[in-house]
Structure 1
Amino acid sequence: MKFVYGSLIGGIWRDSPSTLRTVNPARPSQPVGTYGQATAAMVDEAVAAAAAAQRAWRKLPAPERCASFARFIDAIEANKERLAEAITAEQGKTLLESRGEIAKACSESRFMLQHVMTAEGTRHVPALRAGVRNIVLRRPRGVIVAITPWNFPVMTPMRKIAPALGFGNAAIIKPSEFTPAAACILGELATGMLPDGLLQVLHGGPDIGNALVGHRGVHGVTFTGSVGTGRRIIAATANNLAELSLELGGKNAVVIHDADDLDACLDQVASAALMCSGQRCTAVSRVLVRRALGERVAKGLAQRASRMRVGDGMDAATQLGPVTHLSQFEHVMSAVSKARSEGALVVAGGQGLEVQGCEGGYFFAPTILDRVEPHSAAAREEIFGPVISIVHYDTFDDAIAILNNVDYGLTAALFSNDAKVIARFVEECETGMLHVNHGTVPDSHMPFGGIKASGVGAYSVGPSAAAFYTTEHSVYLEN
């Protein structure tokens, strides 16, 4: 499999002498794609083309925009196998997971169009003066830049493209350098279906990212990725004061206080933690367990981790693919080594794996760390790999304190049948998304986002996205 793309600007694929290359994480010696990197001049051209396309697009009635975008979603579904293979080739997740990602992306996008339709209209507010009508309305923000990560090469771009275009904006996507193929296919599908310049794709590293997010012609920047990069984006947008929507890191926890069916609970925890090799922003990273259940939970999770078949995502028998790139693999290895040094007990995994036929692949064994101290790095810092840290607690007061004593606040789950415990969790858990008695998989129409270091600005997905993709205006009409 070989992908060759330039940058998509104004409906035309543009080559560049400077290229970036991708490899298959299951077989790093196997090249996958070659992509022409954008230049500073191309950034200017893309922003100008986006502004021109957006001026015409915003004038279309919302139903017409949504109907056009719905046809684009249909095209994505018709090309799901091609997209799934592109995801797996560069990201490493199983084909089953890649297909699921595309289905989720289409589902979210369709729900987002419904929110566009309901949020588009004006809102009348009672006036304080006789003979005056007060109206609150929303307008498209303008040109939106989306910087997207390598873990979900279709779903994350679509999570940004759908509301951007639905609400009447233009979008410029800069996909991750590790997984650009899927975004290029999305751009290819848009060509001839959506107006030229409305959806563009630019490749490059931090220099191109900085040029995009700080460009004077850009009105909004949406980013999903690390806290460090998020901070740099905030600094870069000081040049143009663009609106921000940032989805950042997480140290997500499941609290197991009591459970009628512990096996069913652990099935959900293992799935929520280890799928996509733990490289999901909502992946469970910590399991906080009441001490009386600690031994059973550690043993049960170790059994589930040890049974998972690790291998090439293209192999139908594989349950867990590789970590996506070498630096991330090394980060996971280092985090587990540090956890050992801080006293954690490795009860499953803990090392890289060699997979026959995939020599040199970035495979890391599903890992369970038991007896992790609440203050240790494994309990507080993001690992973003197939690693679960088990922390024991005595009282629910202790559980809440440990749960909240991290920089992040994305998502968390509680397993309990105690109504008072559930009520306290819902009231006191410091995360943007909370789950009770099930894993951390969000619905396609609910607001998605975090608090603390996990997010800045309006949540993506759901009705709250309008706060980022549109501007609000108060209108006073004297009769």
Structure 2
Amino acid sequence: MKFDYRNHNGGGNVFETRNPARPDEIVGAYAEVGDSAGVEAVLAAAAQAQAQWSEVPPVARGDRLTAFLDDVIANVERIAEAITLEQGKPLAEARNETLKGCAEGKFMAGEAARQQLQTSAAARPRVRNLILRRPRGTLLAICPWNFPAMTPLRKLCPAIAFGNALVIKPSQFTPAAAFILAEIAERHFPAGLVQVMPCGGAFASELTAAGHFDGVSFTGSVAVGRKVGQAAATGLVPAQLELGGKNGVIINDSADLDSCLDQVFGAAFQTGGQRCTSLSRVIVHHDLHGAVVEGLAARARALTLGDGLAPTTTLGPLCNAAHFDSVRAATARAVDEGATLVTGGESATVAGCEGGYFYQPTLLDNAGASTTASREEIFGPVLSVLAYDSADQALSILNDTEYGLTSSLFSDSHALIQRFLDESRNGMLHVNNGTVPDVNMPFGGMKHSGLGAYSVGASASAFYTIEQAAYLAW
């Protein structure tokens, strides 16, 4: 066993994590916080630390946050190994995930010195109007299993930059990275400012509904996000919800189709498709349909399934047994509904990793015949192809889901690009590139893909601070 945190929270219920490449291998053991005494201890430590931290000048907070991130980078191999052992993704992806989170965090460290004070025109003589921002207090970060380091960092960095304390509730499948981040944080911030609180989702919602936190940031599924949002409404605390997606790319024309397909394929199959921003629908003009299907299928067949720690692996296992079963069932349902299986569509056996949660990279054509393939989030290495004849049809297909997270268009048509920017009902729009966001740009979605202020970028302050209007008369 690699990670042992059974005594971290005073000996609550213990749960174990397992290596999804070898499910018989126990990776870690953790104790939950599940009673009032444990919660009170966490909250008391957070309140004391936050009161101290909020007095630190913003520029100094940014400097200390930067030093913390440099320390995280120095420990990137340790964190990446923890991610791969519990989540399954290839080690290179785990490393890049951590570094991406640090890059976003360094932008937020700079934001600590900006946007703290804004002037506004006065309506009366001898009055000066100011717009102030202050920390919210103690925030709860509910994190998913697919990005065990980047998602906690995405919430930790703005929280700390703007003077808050943060309590991280990691997924029960992948807590190790969060604990390592908290250990590093102890070297840079007041004790209790960053804490990890493993607990059940229902218990976290109860704490939110009871008003124990000053805000809750959640990343995960729409179904669970609804529960978190309801709990936040009951507790009258602000909520930031980052939810799912059924992200589409329109391929209308491309001067370099190979480059286009490389970007689309990477955006679809990184992390085994277990990303909210994964491309899962390829909406292709009928003139390119055959070439696109052939090119994507060849790329899928070239992936190497295996243990994420093996240097030759380019596609790791799915994270856990329940999700493995869900992806298999959804794919089978899509084929039963009328989608055409081009390649994949089956579980896979990897030598030395018997029993691992491996699923073949899968391409489905004629996805319009299947509601599952064309509209539902499968959240696995499954990519659907839909053909279209007109721009009106392409944009209609693109928007025909409950989700609105991210989308992409490949085209050299100025008119179509302008229509895409005007009509795509998604929070993030990409033209002639995949769906990889920059570290300083707002990250969030529309419709059922998100609620509240976007994370990352300057707009994150809308959640992590409280706005105050001040009038100074003399």
Equivalent pair of 1:43/1:211 in contact (CA under 8 Å): no
Pick one of 203, 206, 214 that aligns with 1:211: 206
> In the alignment, residue 4 of structure 1 is paired with which amino acid?
D
Q: How does 1:245-394 map to 2 (within 5 A)?
A: 245-373=240-368, 376-394=371-389
Work out the CA distance in 1 between the residues paired with 2:165 and 2:214: 10
> In the alignment, residue 461 of structure 1 is paired with which amino acid?
V
Higher deviation after alignment, 234-243 or 207-216: 207-216
Work out the CA distance in 1 between the residues paired with 2:233 and 2:47: 20
Match of 2:172 in 1: 177
Work out the CA distance in 2 between the residues paired with 1:415 and 1:170: 42
Match of 1:95 in 2: 91
> In the alignment, residue 57 of structure 2 is paired with which amino acid?
P
Work out the CA distance in 2 between the residues paired with 1:124 and 1:407: 40
**Secondary structure at 2:141's aligned position in 1?**
strand
Work out the CA distance in 2 between the residues paired with 1:106 and 1:422: 32
> In the alignment, residue 455 of structure 1 is paired with which amino acid?
G
> In the alignment, residue 43 of structure 1 is paired with which amino acid?
V
Query: In the TM superposition, what is the alpha-carbon distance from 1:218 to its structure 2 partner?
Result: 0.9
**Secondary structure at 1:363's aligned position in 2?**
coil
Match of 2:106 in 1: 110
Query: In the TM superposition, what is the alpha-carbon distance from 1:43 to its structure 2 partner?
Result: 1.6
Query: In the TM superposition, what is the alpha-carbon distance from 1:6 to its structure 2 partner?
Result: 4.3
Match of 2:40 in 1: 44
**Is 1:53 the equivalent of 2:49?**
yes
Equivalent pair of 1:43/1:208 in contact (CA under 8 Å): no
Query: In the TM superposition, what is the alpha-carbon distance from 1:234 to its structure 2 partner?
Result: 1.3
Query: In the TM superposition, what is the alpha-carbon distance from 1:189 to its structure 2 partner?
Result: 1.2
Pick one of 444, 451, 468 that aligns with 1:456: 451
Query: In the TM superposition, what is the alpha-carbon distance from 1:110 to its structure 2 partner?
Result: 0.1
Equivalent pair of 2:249/2:283 in contact (CA under 8 Å): yes
Q: Which runs of 5+ in 1 are unaligned?
A: 8-12
> In the alignment, residue 389 of structure 1 is paired with which amino acid?
S
Match of 1:2 in 2: 2
**Is 1:223 the equivalent of 2:218?**
yes
Query: In the TM superposition, what is the alpha-carbon distance from 1:375 to its structure 2 partner?
Result: 6.0
Query: In the TM superposition, what is the alpha-carbon distance from 1:318 to its structure 2 partner?
Result: 0.3
Work out the CA distance in 2 between the residues paired with 1:238 and 1:427: 32
Match of 2:185 in 1: 190
**Is 1:81 the equivalent of 2:100?**
no
After superposition, give the CA deviation of every residue in 1:95-128 in whole Å (9 maximum; x if it has no partner).
Answer: 00011011101100001111221112x1111111
After superposition, give the CA deviation of every residue in 1:142-184 in whole Å (9 maximum; x if it has no partner).
Answer: 1110000000000000000000010000000000000000001
Identity of aligned residues (%): 50
**Secondary structure at 1:21's aligned position in 2?**
strand
Work out the CA distance in 2 between the residues paired with 1:239 and 1:343: 43
Work out the CA distance in 1 between the residues paired with 2:192 and 2:206: 18
Equivalent pair of 1:40/1:211 in contact (CA under 8 Å): no
Work out the CA distance in 1 between the residues paired with 2:249 and 2:373: 15
Match of 2:66 in 1: 70
Work out the CA distance in 1 between the residues paired with 2:458 and 2:370: 37
Query: In the TM superposition, what is the alpha-carbon distance from 1:19 to its structure 2 partner?
Result: 0.5
Work out the CA distance in 1 between the residues paired with 2:67 and 2:92: 24
Work out the CA distance in 2 between the residues paired with 1:25 and 1:116: 39
After superposition, give the CA deviation of every residue in 1:434-458 in whole Å (9 maximum; x if it has no partner).
Answer: 0000110000110000010000000
| Number of residues of Structure 1 aligned to a counterpart in Structure 2 | 473
Equivalent pair of 2:219/2:243 in contact (CA under 8 Å): yes
Equivalent pair of 1:48/1:217 in contact (CA under 8 Å): no
Match of 1:10 in 2: none
Query: In the TM superposition, what is the alpha-carbon distance from 1:216 to its structure 2 partner?
Result: 2.3
TM-score, normalised relative to structure 2? 0.98
Work out the CA distance in 1 between the residues paired with 2:300 and 2:244: 24
Work out the CA distance in 1 between the residues paired with 2:262 and 2:428: 20
Work out the CA distance in 1 between the residues paired with 2:12 and 2:259: 54
Query: In the TM superposition, what is the alpha-carbon distance from 1:367 to its structure 2 partner?
Result: 0.2
**Is 1:422 the equivalent of 2:417?**
yes
**Secondary structure at 2:212's aligned position in 1?**
coil
Equivalent pair of 2:247/2:407 in contact (CA under 8 Å): yes
Equivalent pair of 1:148/1:157 in contact (CA under 8 Å): yes
After superposition, give the CA deviation of every residue in 1:238-275 in whole Å (9 maximum; x if it has no partner).
Answer: 33211110000000011000111111111111111011
Work out the CA distance in 2 between the residues paired with 1:212 and 1:444: 31
TM-score, normalised relative to structure 1? 0.97
**Secondary structure at 1:301's aligned position in 2?**
helix
Q: Which runs of 5+ in 2 are unaligned?
A: none
> In the alignment, residue 425 of structure 2 is paired with which amino acid?
E
**Is 1:412 the equivalent of 2:407?**
yes
**Secondary structure at 1:412's aligned position in 2?**
strand
Work out the CA distance in 1 between the residues paired with 2:363 and 2:337: 15
Higher deviation after alignment, 236-245 or 330-339: 236-245
**Secondary structure at 1:254's aligned position in 2?**
strand
